[in-house]
Structure 1
Amino acid sequence: MNIKHIALAVIMPLFSFSQNIQNNPTSNHGNRFEQLGTILPTPNVYRTASGAPGQQYWQNRADYDITAYLDEDKRNLRGSETVTYYNNSPDNLDYLWLQLDENEQSSVKNAGYQEKSLLPKQITSDKLSLTSLPEKDNGFGVNLTKVTDAAGKPLKYVVNKTMMRIDLPKVLKSGEKFVFKIDWNYNIPNRIAMGGRGGYENFPEDGNDLYTITQWFPRMCVYSDFKGWQNNQFTGRGEFALAFGDYKVSMNVPADHIVAATGTGKNFENVLTPAQFARWKQAQNASEPIEIVTLDEAKKAEKTKSKQRKTWIFEAENVRDFAWTSSRKFIWDGMKVTIPENNNQVMAMSLYPKEAYSLYRKFSTKAVAHTIKTYSEFTIPYPYPVAQSVEAANGMEYPMICFNYGRTEKDGTYSEGIKNGMIGVIIHEVGHNFFPMIINSDERQWSWMDEGLNTFVEYLTEERWDNKFPSRRGPAHTIVDYMKLPKDQLEPIMVNSENIINFGPNAYAKPATGLNILRETIMGRELFDEAFKTYSKRWAFKHPEPADFFRTMNDASAENLDWFWRGWFYGIDPVDISIDKVTVATADVDADVRKREITYTVDEPQVNDFEDIAKIRNREDRNIVFYTDKDKETQDFYWRYSRGQEKVDTEKKYTRKIDMVEKLPNAEKAQFRNMYGYQIDFSNKGGMVMPIILEFTFEDGTKLNDKASAQIWRKDEQKVSKTYYFDKKLKSIQLDPMRETADIDTSNNFWGEMPEPSSKFEVFKMKMEGSARGASSGTVNPMQAAGKKN
């Protein structure tokens, strides 16, 4: 779902950030670089430690055969479905759970997740009404008229708000299937007035409706190895967890309506005019969009409003949902797209009312084609036969079909913002075919696995559309305003969908930004892209969880990214790295080697500071005979020295010249004479560790760049220093010059006045010969001082 217009200012305090457990919170060496460990679920036969599905991975399946009747006069939809549910789990099931999403529109059947409310300063009359206690039924929500088994025998069921439980007449054992039937109906809500994802939009000028029929039938919940039944109530926020299956759907609608849906149309020859059907066949081989239903035909249909009926039939294989749209207002265009990675021939299509013609006719289908081709490059090859965009003044996604906005002024002109917003929302919603329609995460629990991953690839796709495209989510600097908020107004990405306050920044922008930082700044494009593809391939048509993503990205790249997942996804700390100080020193290449001497005394005997209890008891134990007591040959000088039997003057001072270094040859003096050393001290003011990226500008105008990985902070997460040596003077140092790290305070990222050198560092030449480990150091030892050899 696209929510680019959700206000950032909807803010409430959050009282607990419990996920990122600190094992050493008061130290400058805490746990930012420790493994996630027990924060992630324990790997098992279903989900491996590598992030791949295990050898015994399973998932259940549901096939649907549905008939629907759209009553335009009453704005009512009635339907009948036969569901075949396959229990592929190792568990025996006593009951099944289904979703009744339309109950969220009911005043009495909804999930009951209320928000706080305040007295307004101004309010429109349509929003003002007397508080009704108890709440009156507004007439919306699902009405169940029949629930039976395949033979027509009634089944016991219970409806709890937006969820429906069917109690099975007998246990559904592992490996078995169960067939049941449901008849239902509901009043279709005015989607513009009431909100929500499905409903109708009325066009007063011509008196017609545009229907988006979504979340419209009782749908099976997911039963999984990681949760059991995902039957969290539908509040309108957290989206869906759904099982894959095959669909056959028949929709009976007014005869002059045009219908588009998930899957492929099976009877276009019967529901289209001969001219339209001919153009449909032509579009299947077209490289440019062809109008299958023309603008003139749509305008004519708006006026006639047929009272006859037609039935459209669609089928879809291996999809997790089914949605459709119906209106006599639709223009319909399409063209063929070939996916290079699998040679799949896809019909890219768009449907739109005349109010969107000048924008959609020019851009929509081409944006659909561009999206599925670009996503195929970064994830998996698009596997379905259809991808289509429907202009419906909103943004919402379903398999092979999505609903977007993008209308012109009455004269056909449009603003740049509307154009770019339309292209962005089409890319975003079409992209949802990949996340989560195919790589099928649990949106009801983790919005970021749906919206965040998709927004990231949306950004990559927008960048491929137009190098000047004004992408609002993805670049690191665009998340800074959110990350600047006080911590009591932030929450981790790893928060349940229903509990997120700043939904747009948290579920969309921050995860998308994090992935872009990984790709551009931390891992590099090649390494990231291959790991991201690995995740997509592993979990296509399966149900991944966050740990599967985190583990796969680590496993496929040989990059230990737990520090990043811990900080960016489980934490709320922002990035704020500061340049605190720059110290300059010059090279002293003329230092006198003769001064390299040390003064020392001989060592005291090496004995324990404290006679521990084990030593005392060993001496008292008459059964223990120490080896050096038995073998007199082992009683050397130091055996006696440690017992006070050898006397050595430990106060006498000895002097030894260091002979490991020598003066520099003249050629090396010339090489190092003009060298400057720059020690740069950094502090981590924000808390989130990141690579240190620097741009050096020299007095002669030249520039150099360097990047230290985030691991530079691993032994001190608060302060680090890094020293550079240059043979010319620095003019300035810029931290994070391309704003890659989402640093929230750039005022401490620049050092513009270099101090004068405050010290010198002496430079010597190292002699080639050196001491091996364990060899004599060349100093006077106690044995020498005593004049003994044994």
Structure 2
Amino acid sequence: MRFRLLLAAGVALALATPATAQQTHSGTDKFAQLGTELPTPNTYRTASGAPGKDYWQQRADYNIKVTLNDENQSITGTEDITYTNLSPDRLSYLWLQLDANIYHPQSMTALTQTAELRDRMSFQAMEYLQRTGFDGSFKIDDIRMKGGSKQLPHTINYTMMRVDLPQPLAPKQSVTFTVKWHYTVNDQKATGGRSGYEFFPEDKNYLYEIAQFYPRMAVYDDVNGWQHKQFLGQGEFTLPFGDYRVSITAPADHVVGATGVLQNPDQVLTATQRKRLEQAKNAKSPVVVVTQDEATKAEQGRAKATKTWVYAAKNVRDFAWASSRKFIWDAMGLSIEGKPVMAMSYYPKEANPLWGKYSTESVAHTLRVYSRMTVPYQYPVAISVHGPIGGMEYPMLCFNGYRPEKDGTYSANTKYGLISVVIHEVGHNFFPMIVNSDERQWTWMDEGLNTFMQYLTEQEWERGYPSRRGEPKDIVPYMSMAQNLQNPIMTNSESVLQLGNNAYGKPATALNILRETVMGRELFDFAFKTYAKRWAYKHPNPADFFRSMEDASGVDLDWFWRGWFYGTEHTDISIEGVQWYKADSKNPEIENARRREELNAAPQSLSQQRNLQDIKKTLVDDKPELKDFYNSFDALAVTDADKAKYQKYVSGLNPEQQQILNKGLNFYQVNLKNLGGLVMPVIIQMTYNDGTQEIVNIPAEIWRRNNAEVTKVFITEKPVASFTLDPLGQTADTDLSNNGFPRKLAPSRFELFQQQQQAQPNPMQQRNVSSQQPQQGGGTSGGTR
């Protein structure tokens, strides 16, 4: 198509959709600022996203003594809690979390569990429905002021316990009280859960991963008051910071690893083991502190005596530990911005050779990358412990799964599963152990941010690392689902329908898109680091993250938070059509030649083609005298008058206007429609007739006047052969079939399979590759929290 360029004083010709169409909105304005959705800034939390001048948070310090009974798998304990009120409020009672009460047969979790009966049900399914044989809840034996003679009144409400103080706790004052308790440790394989024990029938030994093992102070803050929302199993933990001193009494042949630094190595480790641990501080590869031979020998005994391991940790929000006579222990020192840190792993022989090769190296790699991208790791150790669960995190210590086969071989999925789960769980030291968000309310604030950082860390492990989450394409199946099967990311943890997609995958992908497509790496990395610095060792909320990211980058992201975090719409932008225009040069020699070429190239109609065959002679052919001037007139012949007219036109143009005419520019009007509803940047690749390509990135604000459809004009010197939306898969577009013009077929795949497939050996087994190390293993476990 051609258009004319008009010359008129003070007149500009806009090559765009009419203004009346552009200024209409489809439904809600998706670029409206987040107003009522975010809390009003105040002196505690500012509009910039930083803590305010009056920001405060409470403190809870613990002195805990626990004893592990390996004969009946139970724990007894006593703790002194010193609670410091740094709020401006007087507190007449305190709330503690009793998370193990989830294992009570009449817990809220058990009572509200839904299920369906089927015509055929397994015994295992029936046992799960009944679940009446195990009670792992806390048994509170005593609560009183430290050194006091009277019990403190207390009320247990499922997984929460209120302790009534003898007198209100005033601001800037502390109170110390003592709690005594006991409970039975759960079998993780039978009951699930984030901690518990695993029994090894081959050698009749237990491996304990112990967490949520003591009554823990709930958070009291400026946003919620007491955060005492019930623990139902999915929403995790919200905890204040404090110092811990924990004495763990276990069988004398057990090895105990825990949050913090071991205070009495001379009493619990041999001289050789202490020497190995010292050597590990400067080692470039993991040094084995407790060897497999030592662990195997310990497996064969049953010590009647006990040892007490004492650990201390400063400024942490929680404490966890692990104990077993089966533990191999390796360690490696590293430096984080000049501060020494020990990366360590504890694991049974069943985990080798996989764990000895990858666990501690993964711990160290995680600390380096996260420290560079967020805040320096300040704690003295970081530990990975192997057990039956897929993954669970605590300060300085985490529990991880994945084992090789019994012959020592393993699949690629097992290898990368181990590396990924260690990265993820160790990464939780930063979110939420340091940047201490409210997990009970907002799972995505720790899991989503951590999964994003996990993706970055995996990609620095090796080229082409098979990350499960982070790439936009990987969230497409979830975002393509019906909206009634999804929740907004901003949904309470216990109400989320698909936790993995909602709280891990979608926010991680959103942050990756922010970094790569919306903001760019430089702006994003600075803003993300700013958020982490501002809220390290504090309690951020979603608004603090949203505001910090905008404040530090100078990018208005309200449309992004609204779409990705508050909504369930998806990306589906379609090229509805393209019109090609050329400017009319007004040069009769050029324009008339073009028209003649177009006329000659135009196909004859069917009637014309048939008339050539059927009509042998026309009347004028038979009677030439009927011809006149017009039978030989060439309307496209260029005359002197045409040339003079053109010269007069050109003489009225300035040099810039003449250049526009002489370039022969191509003008393409591209019609775009937002079918998915989620406003996103428009990324268009133009492939020219000569095969070269160009990508144009258009900010999401192109949709600001019309959220549903827009047109965009592209001006090129070379003719365009095709247009493609989002060629690199940057926006999680759910339908690629409408991303091209002219339209392209997008292939899908289906799988053919036999009804009864046999389990296939992993590639190492197929090729008879086995480890040269003597360690053997068996079984696998997966999953990440």
- Residue 444 (structure 2) aligns with: 448
> Counterparts of 1:19-418 in structure 2 under 5 Å?
27-28=25-26, 30-111=28-109, 114-128=112-126, 138-152=134-148, 153-340=150-337, 343-394=338-389, 395-418=391-414
In the other structure, the counterpart of 1:704 is 694
| Contact 2:243 2:316 (8 Å CA) reproduced | yes
* One-letter amino acid of the structure 1 residue matched with residue 70 of structure 2: E
Cα distance in 2 for partners of 1:183, 1:534 equals 42
Q: 1:477 pairs with 468, 473, 481, which one? A: 473
CA shift for structure 1 position 139: 2.9
Pick which of 144-153 and 355-364 moved more: 144-153
SS in 2 for 1:504: helix
| Kept after mapping to 2: 8 A contact 1:111/1:233 | no
CA gap 1:70/1:582 in 2 versus in 1, 3 angstroms: same
Give the CA deviation at 1:101. Answer: 0.6
Matched, 1:745 2:710: no
Question: Quick check: 1:589–1:664 contact (8 Å CA) kept in 2?
Answer: no
Question: What residue number does 1:436 align with?
Answer: 432
Post-superposition offset of 1:669 = 5.5
Instruction: Name the SS for the 1:509 alignment partner.
Output: helix
Deviations 1:127-148 (A, max 9, x none): 425987xx96733210011111
Shift of 1:269: 1.8
SS of residue matched to 2:553? coil
Residue of structure 2 in register with 1:650 after alignment = none
Worse-superposed segment, 26-35 or 253-262: 26-35
> Is the 8 Å Cα contact of residues 650 and 658 (structure 2) preserved in structure 1?
no
Q: Which residue of 1 aligns with 2:664?
A: 674
Quote how far apart the aligned CAs of 1:315 are: 0.1
Shift of 1:674: 2.8
Contact 2:583-2:661 at 8 Å conserved across structures: no
Alpha carbons 1:111, 1:161 under 8 Å: kept: no
2:582–2:667 Cα contact (<8 Å) kept? yes
One-letter amino acid matched to 1:279: R
Q: 1:393: Cα distance to partner?
A: 2.6
1:505 aligns with 2:529: no
| Aligned-residue offset at 1:732 | 1.1
Runs of 5+ in structure 2 lacking a partner? 1-22, 589-647, 745-785
- Report the AA paired with residue 381 of structure 1: P
Whole-Å separation in 2 of the counterparts to 1:239 and 1:345: 30
Counterpart for residue 10 of structure 2 = none
Evaluate the alpha carbon distance shift between residue 753 and residue 362 of structure 1 in structure 2; reply closer, same or farther with a 3 A threshold. Answer: closer
**Structure 1 counterpart of 2:155, one-letter code:** V
Amino acid at match of 2:53: Q
Name the CA distance, whole Å, in 1 between partners of 2:56 and 2:105.
Answer: 38
Of stretches 547-556 and 103-112 in structure 1, the one that deviates more from structure 2 is: 103-112
**Once the two structures are superposed, what CA deviation does each residue of 1:317-340 show, in whole Å capped at 9, x if it has no partner?**
000000000001110000101113
One-letter amino acid of the counterpart of residue 389, structure 1 = S
Per-residue deviation, residues 553-604 of structure 1 (Å, max 9, x unmatched): 0100110100000111001110110000000011212179xxxxxxxxxxxx
Contact 1:386 1:400 in 2 (8 A): yes
Supply the RMSD in Å over aligned alpha carbons.
2.0
> Residues 586, 433 of structure 1: CA spacing in aligned structure 2 closer, same or farther, 3 A cutoff?
same
**Within 5 Å, which residues of 2 pair with 1:519-668?**
519-590=515-586, 662-663=652-653, 668=658
SS in 2 for 1:318: strand
Compared CA separation, residues 587 and 413, structure 1 to 2 (3 A): same
Q: Report the Cα offset of residue 298 of structure 1.
A: 0.8
State how far apart, in whole Å, the 2-side matches of 1:256 and 1:186 are.
23
Task: Provide the C-alpha distance between the structure 1 equivalents of 2:406 and 2:57, rounded to a whole number of angstroms.
Answer: 50
**Which letter does structure 2 place at the counterpart of 1:100?**
L
Alignment of 1:775-790 (within 5 A): none
Q: Secondary structure at the match of 1:56?
A: coil
Q: CA deviation at 1:151?
A: 2.2
Q: CA deviation at 1:224?
A: 0.4
CA distance in 2, matches of 1:742, 1:431: 25
Instruction: Give the conservation status (yes or no) of the 8 Å contact 2:444–2:504.
Output: yes
Name the TM-score, length of structure 2 as normaliser: 0.82
Identity %: 52
Partner amino acid, structure 2, of 1:577: I
Q: Quick one: structure 1 residues 666 and 575, their matched pair in 2 at CA, closer, same or farther if it must change by over 3 Å?
A: closer
Q: Structure 2 counterpart of 1:257, which letter? A: H
Letter in 2 for 1:506: N
1:687-708 CA distance string (max 9 Å, x none): 1111110111111111111111
CA distance in 2, matches of 1:575, 1:753: 18
Measured at CA, do residues 416 and 170 of structure 1 come closer, stay the same or move farther in structure 2, by a change above 3 Å?
same
Name the amino acid aligned to 1:698.
Y
State the alpha-carbon separation in 2 of the partners of residues 126 and 258 from structure 1: 34
- Rate the CA distance shift 1:669–1:83 in 2: closer, same or farther, 3 A: closer
1:108–1:136 contact (8 Å) kept in structure 2 = no
Distance 1:464 1:358 in 2: 23
TM-score normalised to structure 1 length: 0.81
The 1-side partners of 2:300 and 2:32 are apart by 68
Pairs aligned (count): 661
Contact 2:188/2:388 (8 A) holds in 1: no
CA contact (8 A) 1:589 1:669 kept: no
Cα distance in 2 for partners of 1:266, 1:225 equals 36
| Match of residue 734 from structure 1 | 724
Contact 1:29 1:714 in 2 (8 A): no
Shift in Å, 1:26:
9.3
Does the 8 A contact of 1:587 with 1:673 survive in 2?
Answer: no
271-280 or 398-407: which moved more?
271-280
| TM-aligned CA deviation for residue 422 of structure 1 | 0.7
SS at match of 1:737: coil
Q: Indicate the SS of the match to 1:286.
A: coil
Cα distance in structure 1, aligned partners of 2:716 and 2:686: 10
Tell me, in whole angstroms, the C-alpha distance in 1 between the residues paired with 2:276 and 2:543.
48
My pick for the range that moved more, 344-353 or 744-753, is 744-753
2:419 alignment partner AA: I
SS in 2 for 1:355: coil
Q: Aligned with 1:37: secondary structure?
A: coil
Equivalent position of 1:494 in the other structure: 490
Checking the alignment, whether the CA contact within 8 Å between 2:103 and 2:135 is kept in structure 1 is: no
The question of 1:695 aligning with 2:685 is answered yes
- Distance in 1, matches of 2:657 and 2:129, equals 92
Distance in 2 between the 1:517 and 1:301 partners? 51
Is the alpha carbon distance of 1:129 and 1:425 closer, same or farther for their aligned partners in structure 2, counting shifts above 3 Å?
closer
Shift of 1:673: 4.6
The residue type paired with residue 484 of structure 2 is D
User: Hey, what's the Cα distance between the residues in 2 that align with 1:509 and 1:262?
Assistant: 28
Question: Equivalents in 1 of 2:365, 2:339: separation in Å?
Answer: 14
Partner Cα separation in structure 1 for residue 656 and residue 355 of structure 2: 75
8 Å CA contact 1:295–1:354 kept in 2: the answer is yes
Which whole-Å CA distance do the structure 1 matches of 2:129 and 2:444 have between them?
36
Pairwise CA distance, 1:666? 11
Instruction: Provide the secondary structure at the position in 2 that maps to 1:96.
Output: strand
Q: What CA deviation, in whole Å up to 9, does each residue of 1:156-206 have, x standing for no partner? A: 000011100001111111111111000000011101110001110001111
> What's the secondary structure of 1:374's corresponding residue?
helix
Question: For residues 137 and 101 of structure 1, what CA distance do their matches in structure 2 show?
Answer: 19
Is 2:714 aligned against 1:724? yes
Whether 1:420 aligns to 2:416 is yes
CA distance in 2 between partners of 1:131 and 1:660 (Å): 88
User: 2:494 is matched by which residue type in structure 1?
Assistant: E
CA contact (8 A) 2:585 2:661 kept: no
Gap change, CA 1:444 and 1:665, over 3 Å in 2: closer
